[in-house]
Amino acid sequence: TFPAAVQAVLWWRYRLPFGAVVCVLGLLLGEWVNRYLNFWGWTYFPVNFCFPSNLMPGAIVLDVVLMLTNSMTVTAVLGGMAWGLLFYPGNWPVIAPLHVPVEYNGMMMTLADLQGYHYVRTGTPEYIRMVEKGTLRTFGKDVAPVSAFFSAFKGEF
């Protein structure tokens, strides 16, 4: 909602096609301040466990669609769809280093598993069972693409 509002003001008044990027940069700055001060500053939760999502690829495509089409309607339909479709692949460069295989005590695991192994959290089986009830398990292992396409469809409206 905010990228669309900032984009509308900057486009209609000044013909500047970078409203979504400006809005996302402000959001990411606020998110990093929140992550550092609240997660690390108050609870000493590791910052690499709670990095914010990367919204920049979707914002760039949203602004490019507006710049090329000069139409807010086409931008809402195509740019909103691209925003939803690019959300998951846009975060791959951030998540990819955590899937590097490492050997620890004779066992092969990912770096994310090793971080989770060393950082002890409270997690009871009852809580884990409650969380697993609300997932998209009916779609098998294709949860992320289904979520991305639903987000793209929802972004059109």
Q: List the pLDDT tens digit at each of the 157 positions of the chain.
A: 678 888 888 998 999 999 999 999 999 999 999 888 988 888 787 887 788 888 999 999 999 999 999 999 999 899 989 998 999 899 888 888 888 999 998 989 988 888 877 776 666 554 454 444 455 455 556 666 777 777 777 766 5
Q: For the chain, percent helix, then strand, then coil, each to nearest 5?
A: 75, 5, 20
Contacts of 94 (CB under 8 A, 6+ apart): 51, 54
Q: Answer yes or no: is 123 within a domain.
A: no
Count: domains in the chain: 1
Domain that holds residue 51: 2-90
- HSE at residue 13, side-chain half, CA atoms within 13 A, is 7
Find, among 78, 69, 70, the residue nearest to 152 by Cα. 78
Residue 57 counted as domain residue = yes
- 129 domain residue, yes or no: no
Residue 128 maps to a domain: no
pLDDT in tens, 39-85: 888 878 788 778 888 899 999 999 999 999 999 999 989 998 999 89
How does 5-42 read in b/e, with b if 16+ C-beta sit within 10 Å? ebbeebbeeeeebbbbbbbbeebbeeeeeebeeebeee
**Nearest-angstrom CA–CA distance, 18 and 23:** 9
Q: Tell me whether residue 8 is in a domain.
A: yes
Let me know if residue 82 belongs to a domain.
yes
* 34 inside domain: yes
pTM of the model: 0.72
In 3D space, the residue among 100, 101, 121 whose CA is nearest the CA of residue 46 turns out to be: 121
Residue 137 falls inside a structural domain: no
